[in-house]
Amino acid sequence: MRRKLVAGNWKMNGSSESIRGLLQGIKEGAAPVAAVELAVFPPFVYLGLVEQQLSGTTVAWGTQNLSEQVSGAFTGEVAGSMLNDFHCAYVIVGHSERRTLYGETDDLVARKFAAARKVGIKPILCVGETLEERDQGVTESVVERQLKAVLDLEGVEAFNDAVIAYEPVWAIGTGRTATPQQAQEVHAFIRAKLAERNSTVAAKTRILYGGSMKAANAVELLAMADIDGGLIGGASLEAKEFLAIARAGC
Ligand code: PGA
């Protein structure tokens, strides 16, 4: 049985003050949704604050990115070992905003995935097609290519300690959600791709859906056989809404 994971990707939002309030709300409402694992992903600079607020609670935390490098002259970058100093459980790699706005390639994403694993932090690998790609009917080949880069570098067993997030780019921040059937189809495809290499790993791997997920559509999405949680952007910035999504997964 795969325990659902509801993860809040805060992106470049928040302040010390708003984050304190948000975390307070999440902590207060976490117990009734304990069947679901919760995690939050603040901007790097708030990691210390988040660790301080969440230590000893059931809520996990991590970051939205990391460097593929170990240390050295890489101005502006943050290494996996540094994330360990703040006890991050997870790190998001290959988010579509990193891929499209910052030019991260499949190869770089795979190396970031490897860097996270090397320091014992579970990567959440994001994959997903653009609207143009969906319209061209190449959704599966795009997702397969993104996944293959990681599988070829790290092997399927790496997914024993990793999570996948399917995020159709056209659904991110647009208010346009994939239908549960559309999402389920791609999730099942991803699991089948893992199963070609190792069926035990495939059965265990959590595959989250992301893209305009909110309380109002979470019940239907999370009811699908291969949807094991959500990677939530906008709706994770409000404790009530974030917790309501988690409740939908209980
Ligand atoms: P959204 O973002 O929920 O605001 O669409 C999801 C994501 O980018 O992870």
What's 166's DSSP letter?
A: E
Q: Which residue has the tokens 């996948």?
A: 164
Q: What is the pLDDT of residues 104-158, one digit of tens each?
A: 999 999 999 999 999 999 999 999 999 999 999 999 999 999 999 999 999 999 9
> What dihedral do alpha carbons 185, 188, 194, 197 form, nearest 10°?
-100
CATH code, domain with 101: 3.20.20.70
Annotate 180-211 with DSSP letters as a single string.
HHHHHHHHHHHHHHHHHH-HHHHHH-EEEEES
pLDDT of residue 19: 98
Q: How far, in Å, CA of 219 to CA of 228, rounded?
A: 12
Q: Give the residue numbers spanning the domain of 68.
A: 5-248
Mean pLDDT of all residues belonging to the chain: 97
What does the pLDDT average to over 195-202? 98
Q: Given the CA of residue 173, which atom of ligand 1 is nearest to it?
A: 5
**% of the chain surpassing 70 pLDDT:** 100
Ligand 1 site, CB within 6 A? 9, 167, 172-173, 210-213, 231-235
Q: Which residues are catalytically annotated?
A: 95, 167
Using CB atoms within 10 A of its CB, is residue 82 exposed (0-12), middle (13-18) or buried (19+)? middle
Q: Which two tokens stand for residue 249?
A: 């997964």
Q: What is the pLDDT of residues 19-70, one digit of tens each?
A: 999 999 999 999 999 999 999 999 999 999 999 999 999 999 999 999 999 9
When divided into structural domains, the chain yields a total of 1
Q: Please list, residue by residue across 156-182, b when 16 or more beta carbons sit within 10 angstroms of its beta carbon and e when fewer do.
A: bebbeebbbbbbbbbbbeeeebbebee
What does the pLDDT average to over 157-164? 98
pLDDT of residue 1: 81
